[in-house]
Amino acid sequence: MNPAPAIHKVFQGVADRHQMFRMFDRHSQLPNRWEGNATSLYAGEWFEIGETEHDYMFEILPPLWIRGSMFAMREFMTGSVTSVFFALRIDEAIRYFHGYCDLSDKAFVETMRVAIIERECRPVRAMTREERLEHIWSSTADAYRGYAGGCLPEVARAKRTILFYGGKAGSALKSLDDLTDEEIAAKLPVHLRYLPDAVAA
């Protein structure tokens, strides 16, 4: 599995309904993902959604709980990890977010709420390398992303891969983590390509 920060943004911008449902399970292609504990695979992922998507999710099922401007889904993704939806006031505007929280940790929801606010209150738009890679993974169609297969050495198995067009050399699978800065820029939409680098929190 891919180690990731405990709490991390996985998509830049506001996800529409189609994007939201795709990102609910960004790891669907991982072989044997339910073997062992999949908590670390999902817990901590978060992204922004619109008010309409937030309200739609609130009306699907009775929430597991409601705490002020947050509510948790009754259906769990894995183990003790479920979707928590946030309505947060940031820079005088109400914005909406989805995050996977591990409810076995009583502090996780509040820690995520604070992390989202801190990340979104940055005075200058910027992205870390990890955020760039996560956005590429989230926005790439399933046909062009996947996980390294069993024919590779054990240390390389289950690493995320991206199909990359290499010009005259043709297309080739590359490890997401091994993309160069130029390859990352080529995979990002133009409005994100030239954002300054941010220091990881």
DSSP the chain: -----SSEEEEEEEE-HHHHHHHTTTTTTSTTTTSS--HHHHTTEEEEE-HHHHHHHHHHS--SEEETTEEEEEEEEETTEEEEEEEEEETTEEEEEEEEEETTSTTHHHHHHHHHHHHHT-SS--B-HHHHHHHHHHHS-GGGEEE--TTS-GGGTT-EEEEEE-GGG-EEEEEGGG--HHHHHHHS-HHHHTPPB----
- Using the 3D structure, point to which of 89, 120, 151 is the last residue of a domain: 120
Q: Are residues 17 and 103 part of one domain?
A: yes
pLDDT at position 18: 92
pLDDT tens, position by position, 76-105: 888 889 999 999 999 889 999 999 999 999
Q: Are residues 84 and 22 part of one domain?
A: yes
Domain residues for 169? Answer: 142-193
| pLDDT above 70 (res 188) | yes
Residue 88 lies in a domain: yes
Q: Considering only 53-57, 124-128, 184-188, 197-201, which range has the smallest mean pLDDT?
A: 197-201
Query: Which of 52-61, 159-168, 185-194 is modeled with the greatest confidence?
Result: 52-61
- Using the 3D structure, point to which of 120, 153, 181 is the last residue of a domain: 120
As for how many domains the chain has, the answer is 2
Q: Are residues 94 and 16 part of one domain?
A: yes
Residue 3 lies in a domain: no
CA 103 to chain centre: 18
Give the whole-number percent of the chain exceeding pLDDT 70: 82
Question: How would residue 147 be classed by pLDDT, with cut points 50, 70 and 90?
Answer: confident
Average pLDDT for 6-35: 86
Residue 201 lies in a domain: no
- Using the 3D structure, point to which of 120, 151, 170 is the last residue of a domain: 120
pTM of the model: 0.81
Contact 64, 82 (CB under 8 A): yes
Q: Are residues 100 and 175 part of one domain?
A: no
Q: Are residues 57 and 151 part of one domain?
A: no
